[in-house]
Homo-oligomer: A and B are copies of this chain.
């Protein structure tokens, strides 16, 4: 019997996983990780009020979630001083990036990103047949000028730019980002991934401006809010841009308990502030461990610290492998010269102490 007739595009794609999950590694090792420091999750956990809200919502789990995500979108709008029509909630930023790429990118369309930036974005672009143009990092920072110049050169429909950046933890000032927005070529959309906005210095995030027709800002409950396992990301953009997602999104994709969890997390800004303080302490702790081992911690505006191991990619890969073998889940940048580094999520002292104990044996 014949196979399914996949589209030509699908036939050209590999079966890929942008990231191997730590659970896969745990199953291979036959033991759980001692410290889970590789996915930039919030080891400090979500707000107890979010947990309460989830418990309360659970008894209503037989009901589909509101496809308009009304309550959460209204709360987000109030929180960010925009209108609900400027917000879209989706299945994590990953899900929203998929929708965004689908809206804009067809076979051969040009898209620009940084070489070594978020692989899941690249996965979506490949998945819709776009042509990715990558510009190098400059001094461990994404390079706004180079991104804009490349977008002009290739007539890009879409630029991906993360500020703060993952995997390097670096950031640009609001002024630099605003200059990038102002320089955006006509017809080009800027996907500004601000997953780490909450952990960034306040002068790193330009004011939201929903009058711009081609800038969409992405935020998430997966990082500082500690709800990665509920899959709630959101976008903020011009109302007309937001409306376009209604043409293609999975309207009933946002579950009821996930919506309730995110709403309660948003309402507990005290917990967020507390988490941010813990993240700050965690950064200092990781930096201290790095220095004690003769490594160089890079400045971080995120909930992780990227550590320069001061040798090449093969060396850093061996460090990661030896940490993992000791039950310490960490990851590292994929692309040279950033792949001389490893990346460690902020966490309570007990987890970082386990990292500190394992690191010397990995070097």
Q: Which positions in A face B, CB cutoff 8 Å?
A: 1-10, 13-21, 23-24, 27, 36, 39, 41-46, 50-51, 54-55, 57-68, 70, 91-92, 94-95, 98, 102-106, 109, 120, 127, 157, 186-187, 189, 212-214, 222, 226-231, 240-241, 243-244, 246-248, 250-258, 261
Contact A64 B39 (CB under 8 A): yes
A27: B residues at CB distance < 8 A = 70
Which chain B residue has the least Cβ–Cβ distance from A53? B58
Which chain B residue has the least Cβ–Cβ distance from A24? B68
In the assembled complex, the CB of A211 is this many whole angstroms from the nearest CB of chain B, namely: 9
A244-B10 in contact given A45-B62, A229-B61 (Cβ < 8 Å): yes
A13-B186 in contact given A45-B62, A157-B5 (Cβ < 8 Å): no
Further contacts, 20 of them, CB under 8 A, given A16-B247, A258-B258: A2-B213, A4-B187, A5-B157, A5-B189, A8-B106, A9-B106, A10-B104, A19-B252, A21-B66, A39-B63, A43-B62, A46-B61, A61-B227, A64-B222, A65-B231, A92-B253, A127-B247, A228-B256, A229-B255, A230-B257
Contact B103 A4 (CB under 8 A): yes
Contact A10 B64 (CB under 8 A): no
Q: B4, B17, B61, B244: which contacts A213 (Cβ < 8 A)? A: B4
Q: B19, B95, B187, B228: which contacts A62 (Cβ < 8 A)? A: B228
